[in-house]
């Protein structure tokens, strides 16, 4: 709560934003109660903050998002942006270029919020371009053609990753390792691919190789999608425990990440932990199983409070 010229508001608006002076003057002068926060001039900011929006205002937000979907990524609003774009596409007949932009925005946004759906949106965008490309000007056709063509090569790499997972599930770890190394050679989603590689190498009991892979993933962490970073740290914790070293610093890092709802995603890691049950203390073994479960579903971190290693503090902090 803050006070300015004797007017009390609940929250301080961000310094970089401009807000409407939309409070009635008489109310501002006579009321001793905190007033509602003023509305931001930026209509996308209004939408981000969950303020009441008319249909016309939502339409403007859609137009902005299809031309700059990265605004939603910067605010961690990928899922909300996908919803408003899907609704708009079902209710409005857009010109060809705008419809293609909306499909591409959905494709790109869902790569973060719903990776499986992103492939469907890519296919829809590509099919729509093939059907309606002649309705666009030449520069637009060339631009979208390059964008969609560049993704075609990525589709092959996604298929390779799926094949590697099938090999992993079947217990053919050497074959999976070869595919992951091939993907790394193509620089495909490196932080996540190094994570997959480290998991397979651990199942092959090649801990030195797994350590090198996870260190590579950590060096590239800035380019990792949000759910990958906790996995990198998890594997670091596991490797430290196997080396009888204290992982408290990494646990401390991990605790700061799980406050973000977007880091939770299903992950097949339990079989890897069970491979090392005899090498781990009983406490560490069950902690790792609980931690693995907690990283896959929001709301499960409370179960970690029963472990001293989770609740302990770093000396001096």
Give the pLDDT confidence of 183-199 residue by residue, as tens digits.
999 888 999 999 999 99
The pLDDT of residue 1 is 41
Q: How far apart are CA 291 and CA 110, in angstroms?
A: 26
Q: How far apart are CA 129 and CA 294, in angstroms?
A: 42
Q: How far apart are CA 130 and CA 152, in angstroms?
A: 14
Confidence label for 15 from pLDDT (cuts 50, 70 and 90) = very low
231 vs 47, more confident: 231
Confidence label for 142 from pLDDT (cuts 50, 70 and 90) = confident
Give me the mean pLDDT over the 8-35 stretch: 52
Confidence label for 287 from pLDDT (cuts 50, 70 and 90) = very high
Place of tokens 């925005």: 105
Per-residue buried b or exposed e for 234-265, using 16+ beta carbons within 10 Å of the residue's own CB: bbbbbbbbbeeeebbebbebbeeebeeeebbb
Give me the mean pLDDT over the 44-53 stretch: 79
The pLDDT of residue 176 is 95
The pLDDT of residue 20 is 55
Confidence label for 13 from pLDDT (cuts 50, 70 and 90) = very low
Nearest to 79 by CA among 116, 56, 106, 44: 106
The Cβ of residue 299 has, within 10 Å, a number of other Cβ atoms equal to 9
The pLDDT of residue 184 is 94
**Token digits of residue 56:** 């016309």
Confidence label for 121 from pLDDT (cuts 50, 70 and 90) = confident
The Cβ of residue 156 has, within 10 Å, a number of other Cβ atoms equal to 11
Place of tokens 């905190």: 34
Place of tokens 């914790």: 237
The pLDDT of residue 10 is 40
The pLDDT of residue 14 is 47
Give me the mean pLDDT over the 230-236 stretch: 98
The pLDDT of residue 12 is 43
pTM for this entry = 0.57
Tell me the average pLDDT of the chain: 84
Nearest to 39 by CA among 8, 18, 58: 18
Contact status, residue 297 vs residue 264, Cβ threshold 8 Å: yes
214 vs 45, more confident: 214
Contact status, residue 191 vs residue 224, Cβ threshold 8 Å: yes
Q: How far apart are CA 81 and CA 40, in angstroms?
A: 19
299 vs 10, more confident: 299
Place of tokens 């939603």: 72
Q: CA distances (Å), 74 to each of 48, 68, 109, in order?
A: 11, 11, 11
The backbone region for 185, taken as left when phi is positive above 0, alpha when psi lies in -120 to 50, beta otherwise, is alpha
Q: How far apart are CA 38 and CA 8, in angstroms?
A: 12
Long-range CB contacts for residues 306-310, cutoff 8 Å, separation at least 24: 307/283, 308/283, 309/247, 309/248, 309/251, 309/283, 309/284, 310/251, 310/255
pLDDT for 232 beyond 90: yes
Nearest to 124 by CA among 82, 68, 166: 82
Q: How far apart are CA 66 and CA 89, in angstroms?
A: 11
pLDDT for 272 beyond 50: yes
| Tens-place pLDDT, residues 242-257 | 999 999 999 999 999 9
| Tens-place pLDDT, residues 156-178 | 777 788 889 999 999 999 999 99
248 vs 4, more confident: 248
231 vs 146, more confident: 231
Q: How far apart are CA 131 and CA 135, in angstroms?
A: 9
Confidence label for 57 from pLDDT (cuts 50, 70 and 90) = confident
E-strand ranges in 44-203 read: none
Place of tokens 């605010």: 75
């Amino acid at each position: 709560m803050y006070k300015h010229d004797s007017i009390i508001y609940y929250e301080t608006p961000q310094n970089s934003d401009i807000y409407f002076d939309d409070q009635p003057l008489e109310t501002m002068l006579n009321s001793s109660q905190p007033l509602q926060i003023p509305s931001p001039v930026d209509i996308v900011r209004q939408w981000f903050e969950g303020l009441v929006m008319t249909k016309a205002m939502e339409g403007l937000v859609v137009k902005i998002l299809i031309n700059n979907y990265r605004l939603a990524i910067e605010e961690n609003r990928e899922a909300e942006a996908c919803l408003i774009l899907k609704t708009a596409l079902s209710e409005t007949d857009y010109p060809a270029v705008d419809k293609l932009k909306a499909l591409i925005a959905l494709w790109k946004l869902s790569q973060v919020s719903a990776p499986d759906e992103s492939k469907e949106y890519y296919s829809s965008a590509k099919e729509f371009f093939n059907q309606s490309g002649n309705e666009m000007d030449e520069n637009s056709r060339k631009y979208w053609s390059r964008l969609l063509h560049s993704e075609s090569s990525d589709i092959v790499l996604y298929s390779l990753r799926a094949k590697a997972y099938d090999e992993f599930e079947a217990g053919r770890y050497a074959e999976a390792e070869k595919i992951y190394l091939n993907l790394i050679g193509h620089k495909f989603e490196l932080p996540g691919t190094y994570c997959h590689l480290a998991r397979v190498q651990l199942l092959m009991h090649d801990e030195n190789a797994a350590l090198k892979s996870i260190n590579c993933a950590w060096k590239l962490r800035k380019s990792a999608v949000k759910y990958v970073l906790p996995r990198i740290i998890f594997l670091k914790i596991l490797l430290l425990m196997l080396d009888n070293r204290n992982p408290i610093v990494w646990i401390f890092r991990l605790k700061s990440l799980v406050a973000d709802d977007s880091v939770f995603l299903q992950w097949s890691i339990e079989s890897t932990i069970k491979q090392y049950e005899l090498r781990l203390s009983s406490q560490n073994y069950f902690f790792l199983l609980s931690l693995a479960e907690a990283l896959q579903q929001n709301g499960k971190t409370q179960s970690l409070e029963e472990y001293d290693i989770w609740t302990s503090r770093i000396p001096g902090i």
